[in-house]
Structures are given as structure tokens and as C-alpha cells.
Amino acid sequence: MTYQIQSTFDENFKIIPNLNPSVFTVTSSYTDVADSQIDYKPSPSASFIIYQFSCYIASSEDNSASNVEINSFFKLQYSDDNGETYQDWGDNTVCYIGSVATEVEQRSTVDLKWALNGSGWTNTKRLRLQVKMDSGASTVLNQLETFFDSSGELSSTNSYNTSVSCYSID
């Protein structure tokens, strides 16, 4: 589902939630991040466009493993031709999530958010993220390795609902 919201502060707010995401295993090569794609055309007077992707990041190993690092690189890409070809956005849109600690289990919800220059952006662009893990990491997205409800800890696999959004700022 896609929702379009109008407000006096932000314009052309578009959000795409995924209520049933799959577990996404991060590899050592850049790969498209599932559910991070959005087609967006900013308001005509936009100075900046905010792109945001929300997910959950964790180690694919259990707590007893020695390799529980989640160190990963994310980068923003865009397409002007409906996804036929993509280019890196550049301009400081690569980020690193993780730490320099070893054998420390890391897991968290993550909101990756960039303010993109709206100058000259008049047509619809398709935006997406790519991710690759740093050497020595073992990373998955969207899988909650420990989940609790009112009865206590559950052993079943549960997932974190992702979302991608864009909006214009004048």
C-alpha cells in the first residue's frame, strides 16, 4: 500500500510500508535492499527531499558464535529511467552501520535518512538502497532473533515491518 499525505510543512509525503518483509541476508557485494525502492516526484518548489528507510539489523549468528558483528555499508542510488539503470547518488549518501568492537552482539532498528538537494529535480526518480557487509560480519535485515509477547519469549521467527518514505521541504 502507498499513502499520500498533504501538510502545510512538508509536501508530497509518500510512504510505502511493508507489513510482511522477508529476512534479507547481507552479502559481501553490494545488493539491492528489499523494500527500499520508491518512485518520487518532489513538489515544484522543493529545496530538499527527505528519503528515509526503516529496517531492523542484526547478526545472522546466535549469541554463542564468535562472529556476531553487523558491520555494513549502505548507499543510496537513483534512476531516471524507471529502474533500467541506476547511479550512486553520491554527495555523502553512503553510511556505515556497526562498530569496531569484536564479539559484541549488535542489533537495532535503523532509520536511514538523507536530505537530498532538490535543485533541478523536476521529474520522477526511483530511489533505492544497496547494502554490503564489511569483512568479518554476519548480517541480516528484518529478522527479530528474540521476540517476546505477553506469554514470554517466542521461538518462532518474527520480522520487523519495514517502510520507505519521501517528502519535500520548501
Residue 119, domain extent: 20-144
Q: Is residue 98 part of a domain?
A: yes
Q: Is residue 13 part of a domain?
A: no
Q: Is residue 128 part of a domain?
A: yes
Q: How far apart are CA 19 and CA 163, in angstroms?
A: 9
* Domains of the chain: total: 1
Instruction: Kindly give the confidence (pLDDT) of every residue in the chain, 170 residues in length, as a single tens digit, with 9 standing for 90 and above.
Output: 555 555 545 578 899 988 888 877 878 899 999 899 999 999 988 889 999 998 877 766 655 555 566 788 899 999 999 999 999 998 889 988 776 656 556 677 789 999 999 889 999 999 999 999 887 677 767 676 666 667 776 656 677 788 999 999 88
Task: Give the pLDDT of residue 99.
Answer: 67
Q: Is residue 116 part of a domain?
A: yes
Q: Is residue 25 part of a domain?
A: yes
Q: Is 48 left (phi over 0), alpha (psi -120 to 50) or beta?
A: beta
Q: How far apart are CA 63 and CA 103, in angstroms?
A: 9
Q: Is residue 70 part of a domain?
A: yes
Kindly report the CATH number assigned to the domain that includes residue 48: 2.60.120
Q: Is residue 15 part of a domain?
A: no
Q: Is residue 58 part of a domain?
A: yes
Tell which residue, 170, 162, 168, has the closest CA to residue 37. Answer: 162
Q: How far apart are CA 58 and CA 145, in angstroms?
A: 8
pTM: 0.81
